[in-house]
Amino acid sequence: MGKVLLVSALALLFSVQLGSSHILSCYFTNWAQYRPPPTIYMPKDIDPCLCTHLLYAFATMKNNKLATFEWNDVYLYSEFSKLKNQNGNLKTLLSVGGWNFGSSGFSAMVASSNARQTFISSVVEFLRKYEFDGLDIDWEYPANRGSPPQDKQLYSVLVQEMRAAFEKEAKTSSKARLLLSAALSAGRDTIESAYQIPQVAEALDMLNIMSYDFHGSWDPMTGECSPLYKSPEDQGGFVDFNVASAMSYWKNSGAPAEKLLVGFPTYGNTFTLKDASNHGIGAPIAGAGTPGKYTQEAGELAYFEICGFLNGATEVWNTAQDVPYAYKGNQWVGYDNIKSFGLKVDWLIKNNYGGAMVWTIDMDDYLGTFCNQGKYPLINVLHKAFGLDKQACTPSATQVPPIPGVTGADGGGGSSSGSSSSGGSSSGGSKSGGSSSGGSSSGGSSSGGSSSGGSSSGGSSSGGSSSGGSSSGHSGMNSAFCVGKSNGFFPNPKNKSQFYQCIGGRTYFQNCSGGLVFDTSCDCCNWA
């Protein structure tokens, strides 16, 4: 009885510390800025009163130190932090890693005490400098994808040392302790090989379970992205490829329910059917579905794109799994809608989980014009279920100070030589570029296999990778190129590996890396 009271007291303390009885944690992606208009999405487009926590994806790591990824991250950080001026209770975290970042950088960092301390010290300095309230670790995954078995234990050491450093810094600075969360697998085989659950759960404030990508175009057949329950068609390991099974496994393995956040996708996974007349769950597929007009990734559609797909499509409610799917011609999508979000969040509350994690805020219908269901129709289901619509959203008493030297849209972080990091996630499998914590790209394997293919900042084809560029003024590029032009991407006629991006009449150039060239058919970097 004493233990029960103690657990209840701790749960209450935890919820009070974070300002809400349920957490609604939403990822923002720093490559949504590269979409075609009107779907370009920036921090200024975020409703600061919608989510309790906002996670900025992704930062990277260089020389065992936390680092910016996109050329304008520093400017975006500043805009991100300003959201707290409008909502005094809002917490912002910076997410590092993602599917495309892989395991090697994390693995090298955790291998020695000195390297871990270098990383941890850089994290504290970086988060305080850019006004973040915490760190989200998205390592996909310890002891997997080239990461040696000992990384399972070293991951525990990392989060324990990080938590201790955050507590020490809070005492010396007299500031609120930095929060620590992590994006974690929902696939049982990966969970068992990657995490010491009790140790990890004790160190983290929030466990963001990536309970989506249970099925996708890496499978040989159709299946739902984030089903609540198992399907009668599920056999073998697939019986655990559902939200209820994944969350129960974490809870029963030693993770406190009040720290577990259930993953909710605002996108669906798409397939091209082998036979358009065979369109049920488990139907054979020929590959990934056609890329969406705006997200431009084969095998995935944002919710705002799914609404357009549904015009003329056949919608089916999957009663066994409490999610819908739809098909039109040879195209098939398994997704979530307002009804399935409602059923899932009711189940979440009934089972006393700590809240929800959304991947991503920028794939919901934030404009409200694609689905005609109001702005952020999916996330608002969670917002209302948690009673956040009844809580005052008031400006902060103390304004977030501006980041020194950041004045405009190009006030950023120099040039980036990689692609815009898509992150990924899956439950047993993975999506190249994935989607839990990243953008998305085709490829992947659902039963633990690895995937190929690249990802992009503006969407790239399988195998391709789009690069972040530096601001205008690079030799050989015309800094006035975009004057009078519409927003979008334009090739550099003098160099096939370079292209212009126009945003509001301003010119930014970008380079394709790794021998890739700019492909106008997808507005992405691709193989020649």
Catalytically active residues, by annotation: 140
CA torsion 54-60-65-67 (nearest 10°) is: -70
Q: Which residue has the tokens 């058919």?
A: 521
CB contact at 8 A, 200 and 162 = no
CB environment 73-100: b (16+ within 10 A), e (fewer): bbbbbbbbbbbbeebebbbbbbbbbbbb
Residue 314 to residues 220, 279, 328, 365, 434: CA-CA distances in angstroms? 22, 10, 6, 21, 27
DSSP symbol at 437:
B
Residue 415 to residues 229, 498, 508: CA-CA distances in angstroms? 45, 14, 11
Best CA proximity match to 269, nearest among 328, 323, 215: 215
Give the C-alpha separation, 68 to 415, whole Å: 10
CB atoms within 10 A of CB 385: 19
For helices 338-350 and 243-252, what crossing angle results, to 10°?
Answer: 20
Phi and psi of 5, rounded to 5°? -65, -40
